Amino acid sequence: MSLERTVEDAAVELIRRAVTALPADVIAELEKAVKTEADEAPVRELGAMIENVREAGRCTLPMCQDTGIPLFFVTLGSFRINRLEEVLAAAVRRATAEVPLRKNVVHPVTRANTGDNTGIDMPHVAYSFHDADYLEISYMPKGAGSENMSALAMLNPSQGVQGIRKFVVETIAKAEGKPCPPVIVGVGLGGSSDMCMAMAKKALLRPLGQHSADPAMARLEAELLAMINRTGVGPMGLGGRTTALAVHVEWASCHTASLPVGLNVQCYAARRATMRVYPDGRTEFRGD
């Protein structure tokens, strides 16, 4: 079997895992959240979420009817796979039929559905690089309810940290129950307008409980999480102490006259899965 076919088969399984099994770190935070709630409604909603996720895993079926748009994050090592984007597109087509996935990808103006979750720049593949001898592929299906709550602010530097806090907390509060809270909030700071939005989305790949390595950013993450959870939006917008499970901040240096802030929201079903591909054709799913 060719390396390309091996990767295609593995990518179909990667997609299946992402939409049917919630990462252990997310389940742990949901279970922790139940213990912090005092009222019946949030306890009931969190309990239903956990049971839904467990049942999806038992049945190997998607945990949400919105199986999102297909987003891949590829970290390239010291070797390459020929026609990688074609390979991943083929995997998406197969997964749409085999898992199955809801057919979500449409033309932005005519709304014509492609029927297989592929299209122009879809699946989308974001690249980064490392020095390792393997290629790493992460898959994150992004549903519309959470994605529609994305926001960008080009703040004046004089607004500083206070302006960042105000923008993030007000955006999440205004979203109310639309992104299916409790959410994970990805924040991108600095860079340019496009850079900070990309960082905000990539921040959602970080395991819950893993804080920024930068002490200032780690403090900001903790402050934002506490402030968001004081809004009282709660699970599914029905009130409670748990509006967000985590806030992850990624950052880049920026222009002295600029303070870009990107915000990307993920619903409680923070679906993601990662695999590594080695030069000998071996594939390894992370978390196994």
Contacts for 50-58 with beta carbons within 8 Å, 24 or more apart?
A: 53/21, 53/22, 53/27, 53/269, 56/20, 56/21, 56/22, 57/20, 57/21, 57/22
Helices (H), the chain: 3-20, 24-36, 40-59, 84-98, 144-147, 160-175, 193-202, 215-229
SS3 state of residue 99 = coil
Closest CA to 118 of 131, 104, 128, 137: 104
Q: What is the pLDDT of residues 126-146, one digit of tens each?
A: 999 999 999 999 999 999 999
Closest CA to 137 of 200, 70, 210: 70
d(CA 34, CA 62): 23
Q: What is the pLDDT of residues 20-65, one digit of tens each?
A: 999 999 999 999 999 999 999 999 999 999 999 999 999 999 999 9
Closest CA to 74 of 134, 136, 131: 136
Closest CA to 270 of 149, 135, 179, 173: 179
Ordered by start, the domain boundaries in the chain are 3-21+63-143+271-285, 145-266
Looking at residue 288, its pLDDT comes to 55
The token duo for 5 is: 């076919």
Q: What is the pLDDT of residues 238-281, one digit of tens each?
A: 999 999 999 999 999 999 999 999 999 999 999 999 999 999 99
- Burial of 210 (C-beta count, 10 Å sphere; 0-12/13-18/19+): exposed
d(CA 186, CA 23): 17
pLDDT band at 78, cuts 50/70/90? confident
Q: Which CATH number fits domain 145-266: 2.40.50, 3.30.1330, 3.30.70, 2.40.10?
A: 3.30.1330
The token duo for 61 is: 């079926």
pTM (two decimals): 0.95
Residue whose tokens read 């049971």: 51
What's 6's DSSP letter? Answer: H
